Amino acid sequence: MDATHPAPSLPAYDRKALTPGIVHIGLGNFHRAHMAVYLDDLFALGLSQDWAILGAGVRAPDAAMRAALKAQDCLSTVIELDPRGKTARRIGAMVDFLPVEPDNAALIAAMARPEIRIVSLTVTEGGYFINPATQAFDPKAPEIQADAAAPDRPGTAFGAILAALRARRAAGLAPFTVMSCDNLPGNGHVTRAAVTGLARLTDPGFADWIDAHVAFPNGMVDRITPATGPRERAMAAQFGLADDPVPVTCEPFRQWVLEDHFPTGRPALERVGVTFTDQVHAYELMKLRILNGGHATIAYPGGLMGVEYVHEAMAHPLILGLLNKLETEEIIPYVPPVPDTDIPAYYRLIVERFSNPEVADTERRLCLDGSNRQPKFIVPSIRDALAAAGSVQGLALVSALWCRYCAGLQDDGTPIAPNDPNWDLLQPLAQAARQRPEAWLDGLVSVYGEVAGDARFAQAFSGWLRQLWAEGTAATLRHYLQG
């Protein structure tokens, strides 16, 4: 610990008094900086201390996280990157991390325990086996087919959940609530579709029972949490925690909005700032369009112009100009009202958050996985603007920037390393689109849906893509900003 960094705060409660009530699958940075922090705050009030977390993972790499956290008594270091001064705290909301096993036997046994009343997940957007063409659960995914063939030795989180629900039903125990904490539209509905969809492959009656008896509340989650690397570990060392290989850094802001649908009880999270409402969808749509859509907007121009960090992109007048003009003219006008929320003020907060230099989030991270993110964060705004006969010039430019990025070269010729699970599909389409812009839209109907065939959008997209190739990103952004 150096003189400029105060000692990290420790849990303000007796961890020995905690008992588990939640199994959480997926102990990545976001969970440890979000849900675990809310519970840590709650336990510090002396409340809900029978809702501690049992950590779990279903992938082989999760074993490394388990080893790291078990070595430090399941404490997580969370460093808040406030521009006015960084602070660190040790989060003690997790009391154990279950063994990571190919057949998930320890996980299933833990979820079947009567005191476990919530099973929560952060398994990333891509972990729900969604078919990109239909945006629905894909029962033909190889991992799902494997679980259907061997339901007693499941390899996926959803197969393990099914096995535990079967065990609870056989023992006469009420089912636990399944709570997704992933950044997905309708994440409760998506999780229900995965669990019941897998069940229906082998036992349709059990799938019907799940539909009737298991709760899957929807929720909206928000906190920017960069990936952990040498910078973050060095930062932890400054707080005297050089032996922590997996510290988490995050912005000061956090938000959690949840449906209050927990038949077997829940922690008193409203006491620490969680919003319970039956209008989660309104908050969610606002966040997906304005924040996530904003990230997608600033990602690719920065990626093409060699900008490394998000705060540097926000300091670039052309990129910030693109964001402001697009949000104001083509995104925010189609965001419905949100309870107790001033939407323009929310956008101003987003600009402030993106501009935080301490977060040091990278443009490359924002560029990652556009084939999954674009249909959730950009295409719905295009669809709404077209339906209202509004401008789609800015949205078409964002789409053209994504296409231009996927061609694999920055404006100065520097190669762009593959940055999407579908890069092998995207790069040839993007390169073909240099001469024939329609090749991109025709080849990605799974991303654009009916928007791909809209003549007005296609014309705008083609015009911007040709200009990007002919004049470069900076000149194209100037043209857009000049109207």
Taking only the tens place, the pLDDT of each residue in 189-225 is 999 999 999 999 999 999 999 999 999 999 999 999 9
- What pLDDT band is residue 77 in, cutting at 50, 70 and 90? very high
- Average pLDDT score, the chain: 96
179 pLDDT higher than 60: yes
- The least confident of 124-128, 203-207, 256-260, 412-416 is 124-128
25 pLDDT higher than 90: yes
Residue 448 confidence (pLDDT): 95
* Interatomic CA distance for residues 167 and 98, integer angstroms: 18
- The least confident of 112-121, 371-380, 419-428, 463-472 is 371-380
What does the pLDDT average to over 338-345? 95
What does the pLDDT average to over 377-385? 97
DSSP conformation class of 448: H
DSSP conformation class of 276: E
* Contact status, residue 58 vs residue 100, Cβ threshold 8 Å: yes
Strands 130-131 and 20-25: unpaired
Q: Where are the alpha helices (DSSP H) in 83-152?
A: 105-111, 142-149
Residue 388's closest CA among 461, 344, 332, 444? 332
Strands 76-80 and 87-91: antiparallel
Dump pLDDT digits (tens) for 303-313. 999 999 999 99
- What pLDDT band is residue 5 in, cutting at 50, 70 and 90? confident
Residue 133 confidence (pLDDT): 67
399 pLDDT higher than 80: yes
* Interatomic CA distance for residues 417 and 230, integer angstroms: 21
Buried b (16+ CB within 10 A) or exposed e, 256-276: bbbbeebeeebbebeebebbb
Greater model confidence, 5 or 205: 205
7 pLDDT higher than 90: no
57 pLDDT higher than 80: yes
What does the pLDDT average to over 458-469? 98
Report, in angstroms and rounded to the nearest whole number, the Rg of the chain calculated over CA atoms: 23
> Which numeric CATH code is attached to 15-277?
3.40.50.720
Boundaries of CATH 3.40.50.720 in the chain?
A: 15-277
Greater model confidence, 1 or 95: 95
Boundaries of CATH 1.10.1040.10 in the chain?
A: 281-481
- What pLDDT band is residue 4 in, cutting at 50, 70 and 90? low
361 CB-side CA count, 13 A: 26
| Helix (H/G/I), strand (E/B), else coil: 135 | coil
Dump pLDDT digits (tens) for 104-153. 999 999 999 999 999 999 998 789 998 866 779 999 999 999 999 999 99
* Contact status, residue 256 vs residue 271, Cβ threshold 8 Å: no
CA 96 to chain centre: 24
Residue 3 confidence (pLDDT): 55
- The least confident of 2-6, 270-274, 317-321, 471-475 is 2-6
Residue 366 confidence (pLDDT): 95
Q: What is the residue-wise DSSP string for 397-442?
A: HHHHHHHHHHTTB-TTS-B----STTHHHHHHHHHHHTT-THHHHH
Q: Which amino acid is at 382?
A: I
Give me 375's structure tokens.
């249909």
275 pLDDT higher than 80: yes
Residue 2 confidence (pLDDT): 62
| CA distance to 16, 52, 118, 174, 369, per residue, from 114 (Å) | 20, 14, 11, 8, 39
* Interatomic CA distance for residues 300 and 9, integer angstroms: 38
What does the pLDDT average to over 276-304? 97
> Which numeric CATH code is attached to 281-481?
1.10.1040.10
Q: What pairs with residue 137 in β-bridges?
A: 130
* Contact status, residue 211 vs residue 192, Cβ threshold 8 Å: yes
* Interatomic CA distance for residues 447 and 315, integer angstroms: 30
- What pLDDT band is residue 422 in, cutting at 50, 70 and 90? very high
* Contact status, residue 36 vs residue 53, Cβ threshold 8 Å: yes
